[in-house]
């Protein structure tokens, strides 16, 4: 390290101290565990350890790709992720645009508070609320249905309803919180653009499309890239809590499958579960790199 670089470090030592703990956290909890990925290519034995276990190459990946479960869990994961992306991603944008045009500040604050609040409910409590609302015998939804048609619906027992329950309950919980970043982006748009558009006779929809959406497009693109990178990582806790034997054909995703074969199975297969998890991560990496490259070609915005 030359004298100039040392002086720069010394003059900004507070910044290096500030970043030290997050850096250690990332190294310890995100990079060091990657050493364990070796067991995806081994026949892992607790007695022999990672290095002592026998190498098996890509056999665990071949086993997963050739199994019937591969088609089922991949289909469910992609269907649930794309459904969630298609509905859940634009929802906060629409809410932010709507709030941005509210003139009644008190009503606007009430709407913000009501939509933000569910974010702070834990997933366990959220699922409990959903189960109570959709209960066949005591749920208020089925009581209303009975009053109209006389026949309750077993929402949590029918596979056809699982994806909608998962996605729309997630939108209810996260739409307000997700709109914060878009509201912040909207606040940075020059109000003179709207004044000029009004003078030119632009309608509200035209102002939203040509000024607001155009102004927050870089933010939308960046967040969309990050969302696409998470397509294979639909989540674990909420799916598992909503899952039961009746809706299993629609609710078994990669994360819950890994949990079952790698942890709670009668004979846990750590190597097989790790191989499945590694496959999911590689696909996510390919997706985020591809979408970032595509975004860089069609616009001036990308993650890198």
DSSP 43: E
Instruction: Determine the 3-state secondary structure of 23 from DSSP.
Output: helix
Looking at residue 220, its pLDDT comes to 92
Q: Are 174 and 92 in contact (CB under 8 A)?
A: yes
Q: Nearest-CA neighbor of 42 among 27, 31, 53?
A: 53
Please report where in the chains the tokens 């653009």 appear, as a residue.
Answer: 193
Residue 4 in tokens: 């100039």
Residue 167 has pLDDT above 90, yes or no: yes
Among candidate residues 296, 166, 160, 280, the one with its CA nearest the CA of residue 231: 280
Mean pLDDT of 98-122: 91
Torsion of CA 205, 210, 215, 217, to 10 degrees: 90
Give the pLDDT confidence of 64-92 residue by residue, as tens digits. Answer: 999 989 999 999 999 999 999 999 999 99
Give the span between the Cα atoms of 13 and 108, in whole angstroms: 43
* 8 A C-beta contact, residue 295 and residue 301: yes
Using DSSP's 3-state secondary structure scheme, residue 181 falls into: helix
The reported pLDDT for the residue numbered 1 is 57
Closest C-alpha among 22, 81, 146 to residue 280: 81
Question: Tokens 């004979």 sit at which residue?
Answer: 267
Rounded to whole angstroms, the Cα distance separating 41 from 52 reads 12
Long-range contacts from 21-27, C-beta under 8 angstroms, 24+ separation: none
Kindly report the pTM of this predicted structure. Answer: 0.87
Percentage of the chain with pLDDT > 70? 100
Residue 96 near residue 160, CB atoms below 8 Å:
no
pLDDT digits (tens, 9 = 90+) for 230-288: 888 887 889 999 999 999 999 999 999 999 988 888 788 889 999 999 999 899 889 88
User: In terms of Cα–Cα distance, which of 254, 257, 241 is closest to 281?
Assistant: 254
What residue spans of the chain are helical by DSSP H?
3-11, 13-26, 49-52, 59-66, 68-88, 90-100, 105-116, 123-134, 140-148, 159-187, 191-199, 204-207, 214-229, 237-242, 248-251, 254-259, 270-298
State the chain's mean pLDDT as an integer: 89
Residue whose C-alpha is closest to residue 219's, from 301, 290, 295:
301
Q: Which DSSP letter does residue 55 get?
A: E
Collapse the DSSP code of 302 into the 3-class scheme (helix H, G, I; strand E, B; otherwise coil) and give the result.
coil
φ, ψ for residue 102 (rounded to 5)?
-75, 130
**pLDDT 10s digits, 195-240:** 899 998 888 899 999 999 999 999 999 899 889 888 888 878 899 9
């Amino acid at each position: 390290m030359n004298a100039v670089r040392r002086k720069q470090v010394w003059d900004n030592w507070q910044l290096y101290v500030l970043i030290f703990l997050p850096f250690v956290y990332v190294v310890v909890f995100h990079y060091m565990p990657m050493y364990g990925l070796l067991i995806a290519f081994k026949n892992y034995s607790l007695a022999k350890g990672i290095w002592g276990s026998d190498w098996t190459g890509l056999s665990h990946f071949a086993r997963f790709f050739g199994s019937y479960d591969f088609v089922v869990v991949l289909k469910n994961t992609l269907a649930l992720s794309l459904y969630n992306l298609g509905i859940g991603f634009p929802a906060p944008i629409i809410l932010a645009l709507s709030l941005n045009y509210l003139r009644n500040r008190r009503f606007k604050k009430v709407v913000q508070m009501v939509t933000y609040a569910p974010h702070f409910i834990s997933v366990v409590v959220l699922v409990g609320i959903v189960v109570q609302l959709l209960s066949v015998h005591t749920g208020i939804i089925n009581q209303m249905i009975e009053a109209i048609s006389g026949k309750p619906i077993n929402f949590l027992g029918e596979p056809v309803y699982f994806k909608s329950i998962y996605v729309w309950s997630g939108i209810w919980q996260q739409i307000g919180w997700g709109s914060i970043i878009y509201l912040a982006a909207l606040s940075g748009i020059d109000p003179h653009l709207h004044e000029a558009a009004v003078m030119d006779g632009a309608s509200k929809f035209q102002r939203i499309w040509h000024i607001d959406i155009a102004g927050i497009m870089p933010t939308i693109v960046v967040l969309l890239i990050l969302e696409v990178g998470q397509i294979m990582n639909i989540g674990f806790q909420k799916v598992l809590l909503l899952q039961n034997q009746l809706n299993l054909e629609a609710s078994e995703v990669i994360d819950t499958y890994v949990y079952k074969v790698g942890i709670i199975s009668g004979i846990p297969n750590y190597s097989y579960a790790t191989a499945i998890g590694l496959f999911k991560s590689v696909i996510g990496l390919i997706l985020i790199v591809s979408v970032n490259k595509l975004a860089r070609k069609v616009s001036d915005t990308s993650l890198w």
